[in-house]
Structure 1
Amino acid sequence: MIKLITFDFDGTTADTMPFLEKIAIKLLTQFYKLPTEEARLKYRSTTGLPFEQQVTQLFPQHSMNTRVIELFEHQKIEEIFSLPLFPDTKEVINHLKRRGYLIAISSSTFQSTIEEYCKRKGLEVDQILGYRKGFEKGRDHFEFLQKKFNVSADEMVYIGDSLMDCKRAESNDILFIGKTGMFKKQQFNEISSSNLTIDSLSELKTLLPKLQPNGKK
């Protein structure tokens, strides 16, 4: 039985990914001289990682990495609090809480940023986990949640909007549900063992009660 539902933040809970992608593409084209479409593809191929890890993975030991990371994080914090939740986020999360599910957010965004954002938007969950060096989305967060809430991997589900989210969930034996947006259903299904996707969070209200621990309906 599913007890703990964990949501990604950017692109899943909050409608922030178009803005973040726009910043990233601008910086990648400006500092690494990439064509726009190549910059977009490189950014998307590593989405789900903290931005500093995206940059160092894409451009190992490049002299401009530190500057690019600083600019990205500065522009992100300047604008993120003005960006909206998805229209159904609060209603769906409140519905799931009333049904007895535990709710967490696990993200590669800094935890203090997510906490402040949720406070301003009036979004209440049981646990928020963000990125810091040595503690990040994936195994670190999942093990923390399992210990805190005394749940096993097969009592958890992770909902995210990136292929990296899928890989991190399933490599830790966590049932994954892909939220379409940056990636399409077909792209998730090509790598996901669950083959579960949604177009909006509202679909969770009917999908989750049907799921068995192995992800089958």
Structure 2
Amino acid sequence: MKKQKKVIIFDLDGTLVDSMGAFADIAAHVMHSYYTIDSQKARQLYLETSGLPFHDQLEKLFPENPLNKKAVKAFETRKKNAYFETKAYADTIETLQALKQKKLKVVVSSNNFQDLADQYLHKAGIKPDLVLGWKPNFSKGEAHFSYIQEQLGVGRDEMMFIGDSLHDGERAQEAGIDFIGKTGTFTSDDFQRHFPRSPTITKLSELKRVFST
């Protein structure tokens, strides 16, 4: 973190919102139904490949399987029905407000569909400066980072990405953006093995100390 940050980018699920457990249960049910894989193993595979859109997860786990499209539709339908029952972490709103008071721009980058991300954040009372969801050829990672850079007029060394998955860290690393791993889906040891130069946090409120100046 050589240069002072101006934009803090957050993954949504598992980072700002305690939703990964519910999503993993839905994914396990769907994968068990469509691919006759053991539910516990399916849940593990979902979490291990988290950070990708579900259709990309399935293509990685079951390449070119003709059932993938139907499985994605089943997952997204069940997920949408359950999503609004999930809660933001207790320190989410307070932490984001504190960062904005420090004149930092707060951005959410999610692989949820744009309208779903917008609806959830509005309902939860979470108010970032910019919300980016998934659209064709526009997903979390390079596409989102480039858009943020252009819209907010910042360099990549002035951006920080915070996420709960190894794929989040990989996307940041590929884009030349500093990363902080939030433990929960993965452990601190998991993050340190893959990204030894990146710090980890267990609670969002720790960011108030990280960005104390």
Same structural fold, with TM-score higher than 0.5 when normalized by the shorter chain: yes
Point out where structure 2 has 5 or more consecutive residues left out of the alignment.
Answer: none
Aligned to 1:25: 28
Bigger CA drift: 130-139 or 39-48?
A: 39-48
Deviating above 3 A after TM superposition, structure 1's stretches of 4 or more consecutive aligned residues are none
1:75 and 2:95 correspond = no
Aligned to 1:45: 48
Partner of 1:209: helix, strand, or coil?
Answer: coil
Q: TM-score, normalised by structure 2?
A: 0.95
The aligned length equals 210
* Cα displacement (A) at 1:136: 0.6
Give the partner amino acid of 2:124.
K
Distance 1:107 1:177 in 2: 16
Distance 2:39 2:80 in 1: 23
Distance 1:134 1:66 in 2: 17
Aligned to 2:186: 183
Partner of 1:120: helix, strand, or coil?
Answer: helix
Deviation per residue, 1:78-129 (Å, 9 max, x gap): 1111211100000000011011100000011111111011111111111000
1:196 and 2:199 correspond = yes
Point out where structure 1 has 5 or more consecutive residues left out of the alignment.
Answer: 211-217
Match of 1:97 among 86, 92, 100: 100
Give the partner amino acid of 2:183.
T
Residues 175 and 194 in structure 1, CA contact (< 8 A), matched pair in contact too: no
Residues 177 and 194 in structure 1, CA contact (< 8 A), matched pair in contact too: no
Match of 2:18 among 12, 15, 19: 15
* Cα displacement (A) at 1:165: 0.2
Distance 1:35 1:78 in 2: 24
1:163 and 2:138 correspond = no
Partner of 2:154: helix, strand, or coil?
Answer: coil
**Aligned residues: CA RMSD:** 1.1
Distance 1:135 1:88 in 2: 29
Distance 1:136 1:193 in 2: 26
Match of 1:59 among 55, 62, 87: 62
Percent identical among aligned pairs is 37
Residues 99 and 211 in structure 2, CA contact (< 8 A), matched pair in contact too: no
